[in-house]
């Protein structure tokens, strides 16, 4: 999917990468077919993980709660009874089969 978006990213654009837990179990790495766009458009890609922002949790939580109360933030939750269906939940998480935050 990223390959199809690369032609539309502005010069000196930045790409944030996060949320790849659904790919842990598939054994394959994502391969670019349009890598030349990174060079020609001088793009930067950086990975992020949750612990990078531990010092900002309270600020982020307050901002998200505010957006949610104003109905400007839409969430999609996939709620299961974890202990009753632990193996199903883990499988869904690793396959990316859940719809929304599991």
Domain 2-95 class, CATH top level? alpha beta
Give pLDDT tens digits for 21-78.
Answer: 656 666 666 677 888 888 999 999 998 888 888 999 999 999 989 998 998 887 777 7
Question: Domain extents for the chain?
Answer: 2-95
Encoded tokens for 69: 């109360």
Question: Is it the case that residue 100 has pLDDT exceeding 80?
Answer: no
Residue 31 near residue 3, CB atoms below 8 Å: no
Encoded tokens for 42: 């001088």
Tally Cβ neighbours within 10 Å of residue 6.
19
Encoded tokens for 12: 């000196």
Q: Can you count the helices (H) and strands (E) in the chain?
A: 4, 2
The model's pTM is: 0.52
Distance between CA atoms of residues 35 and 79, nearest Å: 38
Give pLDDT tens digits for 62-86.
Answer: 998 999 899 888 777 777 766 777 7
pLDDT for the residue numbered 52: 87
């Amino acid at each position: 999917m990223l390959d199809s978006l690369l032609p539309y990213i502005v010069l000196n654009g930045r790409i944030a990468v996060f949320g790849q837990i659904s790919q842990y179990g598939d054994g394959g790495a994502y391969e670019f077919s349009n890598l030349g766009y990174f060079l020609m458009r001088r793009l930067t890609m950086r990975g992020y993980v949750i612990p990078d922002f531990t010092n900002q949790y309270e600020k982020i939580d307050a901002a998200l709660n505010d957006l949610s109360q104003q109905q400007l933030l839409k969430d999609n939750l996939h709620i299961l009874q974890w202990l009753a269906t632990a193996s199903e939940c883990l499988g869904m998480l690793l396959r990316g089969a859940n719809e929304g935050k599991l």
